[in-house]
Amino acid sequence: MSLFLIAALPFLGAVFPALLIRAGRNAAASAAGLTSLLAFIGLMLHIPAVFRGETVHASVDWLPALGLNANFFLDGLGFLFAAMILGIGLLIILYARFYLSREDPMGQFYSYLLLFQGAMVGIVLSDNILLLLVFWELTSLSSFLLIGYWKHLPEGRQGARMALTVTASGGLAMIAGMLILGHIAGSYDLSVILQNKAAIQASPLYLPALILILLGAFTKSAQFPFHFWLPHAMAAPTPVSAYLHSATMVKAGLFLMARMWPVLAGTPEWFYIVATTGLVTMLLGAVIALFKDDLKALLAFSTVSHLGLITMLLGFGTKIAAVAAVFHIINHATFKAALFMTAGIVDHEAGTRDIKRLGGLRYLMPVTFTIGTLAALSMAGIPPLNGFLSKEMMLEEAAHTIWNGSHLVIPALATAAALFSAAYSFRFIAHVFLGPKRDDYPGHPHDPNTGMWMGPAFLVGLVVLIGLASAKVAGPLVATAAGAVIGGEKLPYYSLKLWHGLTPALYMSLFAVLGGAVLLALHKPLQRIWNALPRPEAKVIFETLTDAFTRLSQGVTEGLHNGVLTRYAAVMVTFTVAIAYYAYQGGTLGAPSRVVQQPGLLPVLGWFSLVVATLFIVAKHRNRLLSLVLIGVVGLVVSMSFNYLSAPDLALTQISVEVVTIILLLLALNFMPKETPVETPVLTRIRDGAISVVAGLGAGGLIYALLMRDFAFPTISDFHLANSYKGGGGTNVVNVILVDFRGYDTFGEIIVLGIAAMVIYALTEAVLNSRVRAHLLNRTPDLPQAGDAHPLMMVVATRVMMPLALMVAAYIFFRGHNLPGGGFIAGLVAAIAIIMQYMASGFAWATERQRFPYHAIIGSGVLIAAATGMGAWFNGMPFLTSAFGYIHWAPLEEFEWATAALFDLGVFLAVVGAVLLALESLSRFAWQPGISSEHAMDINPARDDADKTGTEG
């Protein structure tokens, strides 16, 4: 089975439980189980290749220019983790079917679980670090959904937020580290990065990359000081806890450290950061676990301790330590999943997981007692169970490891951690199952049905089997996975057997077991001392920090984002000017290579008019009508400048846009006050004026510098000039760019234009159904109104000009591919011709003669443009690739025809429809079919004494 399919199956299968829940709980569970089973079988099909030491690859180029490829690979390490994720996932699905109550939305649970499973499988199979980062963040999001599954519980919601905050923050750091690593290696493919150990460790960026990547791994795997989120995640349902703590989520950080071991390990920085962090976490988690009365809390902190153990082994940087780490990953997954499911059974059947309210359950729950005891003994490192084997390997490596010149630090602390580990494991057995039966259990303890104990029983069977025959059962998998961790080098000699003679590790182990028994016997007085000791609460610290950062961010946000647009503009422009000045100071600007030309009288007059109009806009901007007229003058001068500078297409577009926008804005001003009120203090206006002057001078200086210098490299315009006719079939370069070279941009722009027009329509529609329209119709004009709203001369002139204007629009449209023009300009000209009818004859008269709704015109334009683009697919070409050629239709002469003309037709229709829909939307404030102005007054009883006159439009 393809690696792509294995990675995709959980995501695809996540849909079915949510859909099938209406068919029953069994249907939803079966769909989830079948999905995981298919992915697991597909993974198992690769066993022969993986165990031969081969690496299975699957690759699809996505964005190769950015180094983003959908690459997957499967080696021994990836196989180990994928097998744990899918295998234990199957057992969790079975367990959850019987654990969750009827009130729990089971379909939702299984959908979340499969999303989480897919994200984890994606991490362990990814061969591209950018793709790995995507899956990495998906695990944070999906685990947030799982931990907060019981949304009615405050601790569930808090645990989910805490897990997301910590792991996602670490993920952000890891993104930066991975990008640095890819930069050093020159590739973002893991298979390439893992071959560049020398270059990576010799780089000055090695330490920053290492720290950032380890932040991601430590937060995900709950290493000190980020360990606190994992125990709070126990607020999730027990199936989630069992899955998180054994095979997923927290193991992702271990996987990352193991995966990057070949290129990051072996340096003093790696040893002191990773090994020390793991050692502290192992000891701290074990000590805290001993004094937890909540059964899941005890197991949660034990997970923290064992994660620290594995981290410490990986931090040692030796090959045999890597082997021990891989072996303990397997063993921990088996006994920890079994233990959490056992805790869930106890909670489910006894009604509590408070250890102080338990005891004597071996008589009432013999099956659960057997499963839990064997798993806990393995966790304590008692032979002949599998936990003993990997614990011995850990202690053996610790005994030979020197920390800062000391031969005792690591062996002593590792032994102490093992001692506390044995103590809390013994407590799990003694305080839950041993002792006399009680008569005050909250529930009625009894062994559950087979569906709940089958999964943990299977795992405990592996615990025993691996312990008794580890070389045969786990040996090949350990060797294959460890070989991948150390980069395919030859493995050192090691032996997975119970007896290695009288070694230092055996004495350390014996001391830990005996010491654990002593601690259990002294638990009550030690508990009192522990409770009396002052110690920082991680939860309180986390909440204090998050509250402080929240207040800080709120203060910054409210200070900057206060709703004042001038402040936003001031901040943005100031920052832009500062960055530009910094770039100018640090850059090199050559001497001018061009001379200033002597302008004629006409350009000087145009420039003078532009400056005067601009200054008057600034001085008289509160007079809205005068400002609008002056803006029209500025637009006219700009269009003349385009024409003077040999840009007739831009000149036509500018003048057409000016006419349309000025008309629409004049119509909008009809419903607004004529004067803009003063809303900003004098100092603010002085500040804004100073910023504007500096920014304007800077922009002008930049333009002047560009105009005075030749470019030493080819510009994009050279390409367009050379390929306009050859590639697009047109000599009008501007039009060919719009409808061919950058047709996709134009396609998006007409969609945005149509959306904007529809938004205006929707807003005005909402206003028309309110009391605002009545107020507008009944307002008293502040200036005398003309006696004749529609002069006859204007009516006759516009109706005569209508066909002429449309003919001009058609002429501009058809000539656009080779001469100045095109669909956009033609659309504006046609829209102006129709707007003239509205102005001359009134909105009512024009609307009665409207044959096609403007919404449909916009939609037709977009559809025609899209159909033209998709037509290229039938020729095996990319979307919007145009074709052109010469056609001869008698009696016409031979002429050129390009498919881009159809695309231009779509642009034409979209522009016409958008402009006229906006016009219609604004004009409806003054007239609406079926509602006279008198009736409008009736729906506004607050204005009984209003002027009874109205206008048609």
Kindly report, residue by residue over 595-612, the tens digit of the pLDDT: 888 888 888 888 888 899
- Neighbouring C-beta atoms of residue 414, cutoff 10 Å: 27
Q: Which residue has the higher pLDDT, 878 or 574?
A: 574
In this predicted structure, the answer to whether residue 526 has a pLDDT above a threshold of 70 is yes
User: Mean of the pLDDT values across residues 288-297?
Assistant: 91
The residues near 668 (Cβ < 8 Å, ≥ 6 apart) are 922
In this predicted structure, the answer to whether residue 190 has a pLDDT above a threshold of 50 is yes
In this predicted structure, the answer to whether residue 942 has a pLDDT above a threshold of 50 is no
Q: What percentage of the chain exceeds 90 in pLDDT?
A: 39
| Amino acid type, 146 | L
pLDDT of residue 423: 94
3-state secondary structure 54-67: CCEEEEEEEEHHHC
User: Mean of the pLDDT values across residues 383-392?
Assistant: 91
pLDDT confidence bin for 892, thresholds 50/70/90: low
User: Mean of the pLDDT values across residues 802-811?
Assistant: 90
Distances (CA, A) of 765 to 663, 752, 756, 826, 849: 21, 20, 14, 29, 21
Residues 478 and 201: their CA atoms lie apart, in Å, by: 27
Mean residue pLDDT across the chain? 86
Name the least confident of 94-98, 374-378, 407-411, 437-441.
437-441
pLDDT confidence bin for 928, thresholds 50/70/90: very low
Half-sphere exposure of 509 (CA within 13 A, CB side): 26
Q: Please name the helix (run of DSSP H) or strand (run of DSSP E) that holds residue 826, with its range, or none.
A: helix 823-841
pLDDT confidence bin for 371, thresholds 50/70/90: very high
Q: Which residue has the higher pLDDT, 666 or 356?
A: 356
Q: Could you tell me which residues are beta bridge partners of residue 527?
A: none
Nearest to 343 by CA among 418, 242, 229: 242
The tens digit of pLDDT for each residue in 672-702 reads: 777 888 777 888 888 888 999 999 999 998 8
Q: Which residue has the higher pLDDT, 71 or 559?
A: 71
Q: Which residue has the higher pLDDT, 774 or 816?
A: 816
The tens digit of pLDDT for each residue in 21-56 reads: 888 888 999 999 999 999 999 999 999 999 988 889
User: Mean of the pLDDT values across residues 481-496?
Assistant: 86
Nearest to 421 by CA among 322, 347, 498, 339: 339
pLDDT of residue 37: 94
The answer to whether 333 and 84 are in contact (CB under 8 A) is yes
pLDDT of residue 773: 65
String of b and e for 370-390 (b: at least 16 CB within 10 Å)? bbbbbbbbbbbbbbbbbbbbb
The answer to whether 354 and 343 are in contact (CB under 8 A) is no
Nearest to 700 by CA among 601, 816, 577: 577
Residues 43 and 378: their CA atoms lie apart, in Å, by: 28
pLDDT confidence bin for 431, thresholds 50/70/90: very high
Residues 537 and 552: their CA atoms lie apart, in Å, by: 23
Distances (CA, A) of 414 to 34, 188, 384, 393, 939: 42, 37, 21, 12, 84
In this predicted structure, the answer to whether residue 214 has a pLDDT above a threshold of 60 is yes
pTM of the full structure: 0.71
> How far, rounded to the nearest angstrom, does the alpha carbon of residue 486 sit from its chain's CA centroid?
33
Name the least confident of 150-154, 585-589, 774-778, 860-864.
774-778
pLDDT of residue 82: 94
User: Mean of the pLDDT values across residues 572-576?
Assistant: 91
pLDDT of residue 558: 81
- Neighbouring C-beta atoms of residue 714, cutoff 10 Å: 9
- How many residues in the chain? 953
User: Mean of the pLDDT values across residues 730-751?
Assistant: 87
pLDDT confidence bin for 560, thresholds 50/70/90: confident
* Token digits of residue 734: 């501007």
Q: 623 by DSSP, 3-state: which?
A: strand
pLDDT of residue 69: 75
Name the least confident of 73-82, 699-708, 944-953.
944-953
